[in-house]
Structure 1
């Protein structure tokens, strides 16, 4: 049931709309921390924040097999109003040009949301858009002060990858395009002074320095020795390249008398099965306070990246000393040699030199405390300047806004258990079980509910699977981590849940013909997305019997190219999915029939494929 809306209203206050391609909760990555702290700064200045989450980051990270948590329920509690705009357009990760155009990562759906919002909420005084690649939506914000929080410099960002002989997996552009984006704003926010100077050279718009104010969470206390060093990070390229190189350097020659390197955060998924002496992968850590309390020194061995390394400021806010490269400390005005290491070898050498030297550790801790205090003083002054700019631009009468209460509403679905609610960061619910899938809405449906963040969500595991599983129908869904990465539910429940998904809207669909069979498997000739031939994407597959019968989880034995196309159509709304002929071999069906009109569901982190099995040409005997 929908929770009762409180009768009280908020005091009249000026409103700022914040638009971001990443969620503000949980603040488990540097850009999320930046976003959350900026919103807090606006609230401290007396502004109410309406938050619009354009689910861009979710699409990008799913394509790399990562599932950073999103907590829309927490965002509803933090902000005056929370909106969810689905990223239904495919975000290009590669470009055939030298750089991305400034609007290649933009979204017409986001533009239309901003136009809708401006008409619905004319009392809003300002709009703050995160990242230059979403700047086009500022053109649709009528009668508002327009701000861009740049986060980073994106012009020529791809050049940072050359020393690693790698290609970037995130946005990059050229100076002219970045300048055009900045010109759409009235005010440009830079996270550190070097980038503020750079942006001021690109645009005649007002550029404000706005480093984040980090609250002091624990006092500094110098360790007597170094037993554990730590690193916390998201699964982005700068973190991946830097900590991977450092971990290998740290493991070389490691002995048990040396400190242990503990790596935490989503970066652990990107590192895969990294198994090195003296290195421990902790995965996603809910309790950062405990992690930092158990860590003697944090390392920031960054070899690339721009902006401000939020991991450094966060560690300092917990009173933990940091050793890192000059790149890791850009924007902090670092002076100590331990904050200006040239490379990972120098970071390792600094840690080993400090590990049993209490006096040197005390000096490092004092240098960190001084740096952090100076940084926060500058940040507080910058925050006050931003507040003055927005207040000066505000000439509208504030409107009282009724508090919006989050709600949880049962869905008419007995199994899997369905509820309508805002997504939370939890993959397990004590009442419902393990999250299976979350509804995705098209633009018209989202606008019909005023872009509210509540969606239908389905769970399983708290009750036994039924003999016959009802279909969820032709619903568009985003799969949870259970399917490809988690696999924590018993097989019988996973199979019943797959049967419930049999009519879910696929991202691609085709027909296949059985071209071979054995006692425990079969081979299908078909066309499928070309990227599946590389073997890089993790895949799970289920054979669903005709007419809503049982589903059987399969073992994917191989995907091989096929010389001639089998003559079947390939259907998709996603132009980046290029069909290629292939043979798919699977096993694990036991005595299940290979029946015509059966269906194979092909599931990856970000896509649902549906393969209809056509009648075989002639008899195929196992």
Structure 2
């Protein structure tokens, strides 16, 4: 055997011992590997918008593989990927339809933007300004998208596209995937005799890009440290990870007796120059030692290496259809990069295949390597190691084992980074609101109430509307109901309930149980406007999940649940419970002892259904079931003394609760019974006044509040007017006759009362504080 050349002691130790690591490294690696066994953070139908100037088909370049791998991992964890492609690489020259169709099939939705300018132009100064490659067509499309959709996160690829963040709403997590550090890149290339190419800028300009984001992904630790030095935006290392695809070596007859070392690379100038430099450094060493080695280059870089064509011991195979073709045709992968930027995707890919690998230390920055032959200092050292392996093929086994352990560490790094990122999404403050099917009724006060509640909550959190009843089959009904809610709401539908086949709900949706929806968000609030059957069988909820129950709404839609143990069973499952009613004298409800009751108005502001107030003068009377006869007499008096007004109308309690005495008079045209929400048709047009005979009874509070919001005077008759005896009738006559001449003063007082009662959103401020204390934004 020809004696080996002198090799640094660290490399020699590597050939004998296989791996050389410090105790600190061992502890760190053990901690990383332990994270692999922990449950992954999963997403429940999260919608993630991705902006990329780079295509994801074909995946024949490192940056394309990186973007594709990140998006596929997010999909695997439950997200929907909405891919916005700005064809910077293809621009106007050509737009391959087959690749566009392939990209459209990869993602949940695909958006192709127009390129209205050429971006690969020379900088205005020595370096590019951060927005010098920006195209306003991106702005226009993003503004359109964000007005119509709710996205949980927005991932922008490359710092020079970061202006896109300016058009994303506050409730979308803005993630910048940097790929490469562009600061100092021009000087790096110049120092290695390469003319500037692609994008390069200065630290102050790159900091602008980082500051626009809420989370920065660096592709390796070294770049993360730099980003933290120029910006306060949180930055984590998101390494590249490839799926494990073991490739078996298939030796060709021409390779017998030779060690085939191979380098795979795209046609960028950094790969080309490093490949040429390696041949120049390695060939004399291989010749001197007489090592049976063939250097095989594969990929687009071969087209830019015509000077190596035909050189003895060097093969240029050019691009391949799949990278497997490269890996099965080499014995040893080499990554001889003396300089570069970013993470070496080709190195991560090699580890994923299980191939033995020798590299320069710079080439594997950001990868937790354990073998000293992954840390060669010069190209000459790489060549010496390859010669050693050529004479002792058994050393390939140790390198292969090191590849396996390194790949496990890279997987662990990536898992930690994804878990960290997705934790930010799943812990975004979220209000889960259970909603009744009446939400889909036209001109529904209930729907208006839901809208107003959502408009409060959306400033603090995202809102998920949960339905456990069949959705309307009519597509128009769905779109109309959710109109204007798509940018800050999602819909969850109970299992077994499906939207119309092949039709959209009009906003982002997922099918899941209430239990799964609550578990999907780390900082959730449950807001109940409908008591679903599943609620009574939930497991004990964690302390972080507060419960709010609108008793006034349950009283309208599900009165039976308030008379039994349902609310008690529900509230027993939560440690923090707030029961909301709109009237301090509302009848008590059986609930857990720790539940607190607060009084909050039904409306946050005047509902839109009251905007039509043109019509004849008309008076409404509110009456309990036992006051029907009295109300009828009073209405007759109003009609007699004020013939120029429209006939008076009487609003009474629910028909189902009416006593036998009053049942017979419900047929009269002026009497209106039924559910409270069903009575709102009486408010269009608005009455000029309301006579409240009920003594401020809680059952009428929502109706009464609605009138007061519209500044309609709600007038209490004289005290003691509760019978039809002659003295009372005379009092009533005086009261009715004076109503017309006193109406102006009643109306003026109603305007003052409305401002004093609701001007400061009394009650809703309490809700705001309660929810925001529990769910603070990032």
TM range (shorter): 0.5 to 0.7
The structure-2 alpha-carbon separation of the partners of 1:195 and 1:171, relative to structure 1 and needing over 3 Å to count, comes to: same
Which residue of 1 is the match for residue 207 of structure 2?
179
* CA offsets 1:585-608 (integer angstroms, 9 cap, x no match): xxxxxxxxxxxxxxxxxxxxxxxx
Q: Where do 1:107-256 residues align within 5 Å?
A: 107-120=135-148, 122-143=149-170, 144-218=172-246, 227-252=259-284
Distance 1:77 1:261 in 2: 38
Match of 1:34 among 56, 66, 72: 66
Which residue of 2 is the match for residue 16 of structure 1?
48
* CA deviation after TM superposition for structure 1 residue 69, in Å: 11
Secondary structure of the residue aligned to 1:152 is coil
* CA offsets 1:144-178 (integer angstroms, 9 cap, x no match): 22110011111111121133222221111111111
Secondary structure of the residue aligned to 1:129 is strand
Match of 1:291 among 326, 351, 367: 326
Contact 1:225–1:357 (8 Å) recurs in 2? no
* CA deviation after TM superposition for structure 1 residue 70, in Å: 7.7
Secondary structure of the residue aligned to 2:376 is coil
Q: Where do 1:82-481 residues align within 5 Å?
A: 82-120=110-148, 122-143=149-170, 144-218=172-246, 227-252=259-284, 258-272=292-306, 274-275=308-309, 276-393=311-428, 395-396=462-463, 397-398=489-490
Which residue of 1 is the match for residue 478 of structure 2?
none
The structure-2 alpha-carbon separation of the partners of 1:335 and 1:253, relative to structure 1 and needing over 3 Å to count, comes to: closer
Contact 2:134–2:161 (8 Å) recurs in 1? yes
**TM-score, with normalisation over the residues of structure 2?**
0.47
The structure whose residues are more often strand, as a share, is: 1
The structure-2 alpha-carbon separation of the partners of 1:70 and 1:328, relative to structure 1 and needing over 3 Å to count, comes to: farther
Secondary structure of the residue aligned to 2:230 is coil
Contact 1:196–1:207 (8 Å) recurs in 2? yes
The structure-2 alpha-carbon separation of the partners of 1:238 and 1:70, relative to structure 1 and needing over 3 Å to count, comes to: farther
The structure-2 alpha-carbon separation of the partners of 1:221 and 1:128, relative to structure 1 and needing over 3 Å to count, comes to: same
Distance 2:298 2:501 in 1: 40
Secondary structure of the residue aligned to 1:341 is coil
Contact 1:80–1:403 (8 Å) recurs in 2? no
Question: Is residue 71 from structure 1 mapped to residue 99 from structure 2 by the alignment?
Answer: yes
Contact 2:55–2:64 (8 Å) recurs in 1? yes
* CA deviation after TM superposition for structure 1 residue 374, in Å: 1.3
* CA deviation after TM superposition for structure 1 residue 227, in Å: 2.3
Which residue of 1 is the match for residue 16 of structure 2?
none
Greater shift in the superposed pair: 358-367 or 140-149: 358-367
Distance 2:152 2:417 in 1: 20
The structure-2 alpha-carbon separation of the partners of 1:109 and 1:86, relative to structure 1 and needing over 3 Å to count, comes to: same
* CA deviation after TM superposition for structure 1 residue 267, in Å: 1.6
What is the RMSD of the two structures over their aligned residues, measured on CA atoms?
3.0
The structure-2 alpha-carbon separation of the partners of 1:362 and 1:166, relative to structure 1 and needing over 3 Å to count, comes to: same
Secondary structure of the residue aligned to 1:358 is coil
* CA offsets 1:242-288 (integer angstroms, 9 cap, x no match): 11222343445766962222222222233346412222222221132
* CA deviation after TM superposition for structure 1 residue 336, in Å: 2.5
Secondary structure of the residue aligned to 1:199 is helix
Secondary structure of the residue aligned to 2:391 is coil
Distance 1:140 1:27 in 2: 29
Q: Where do 1:574-593 residues align within 5 Å?
A: none
The structure-2 alpha-carbon separation of the partners of 1:310 and 1:48, relative to structure 1 and needing over 3 Å to count, comes to: same
Count of residue correspondences: 389
Distance 2:245 2:104 in 1: 24
Distance 1:251 1:131 in 2: 38
Bigger-Rg structure (1/2): 2
The structure-2 alpha-carbon separation of the partners of 1:125 and 1:169, relative to structure 1 and needing over 3 Å to count, comes to: same
Distance 1:68 1:79 in 2: 18
Distance 2:96 2:266 in 1: 8
Contact 1:26–1:69 (8 Å) recurs in 2? no
The structure-2 alpha-carbon separation of the partners of 1:262 and 1:311, relative to structure 1 and needing over 3 Å to count, comes to: same
Contact 1:17–1:126 (8 Å) recurs in 2? yes
Secondary structure of the residue aligned to 2:320 is coil
Secondary structure of the residue aligned to 1:201 is helix
The structure-2 alpha-carbon separation of the partners of 1:202 and 1:253, relative to structure 1 and needing over 3 Å to count, comes to: closer
Contact 1:222–1:361 (8 Å) recurs in 2? no
* CA deviation after TM superposition for structure 1 residue 403, in Å: 7.8
Name stretches of at least 5 consecutive residues in structure 2 with no aligned partner.
1-42, 431-461, 464-488, 492-498, 504-778
* CA offsets 1:29-54 (integer angstroms, 9 cap, x no match): 11111101110121122110011111
Contact 1:212–1:379 (8 Å) recurs in 2? yes
The structure-2 alpha-carbon separation of the partners of 1:23 and 1:272, relative to structure 1 and needing over 3 Å to count, comes to: farther
Distance 1:45 1:203 in 2: 30
The structure whose residues are more often helix, as a share, is: 2
The structure-2 alpha-carbon separation of the partners of 1:211 and 1:99, relative to structure 1 and needing over 3 Å to count, comes to: same
Q: Where do 1:576-615 residues align within 5 Å?
A: none
The structure-2 alpha-carbon separation of the partners of 1:70 and 1:248, relative to structure 1 and needing over 3 Å to count, comes to: farther
**TM-score, with normalisation over the residues of structure 1?**
0.58
Contact 2:182–2:201 (8 Å) recurs in 1? yes
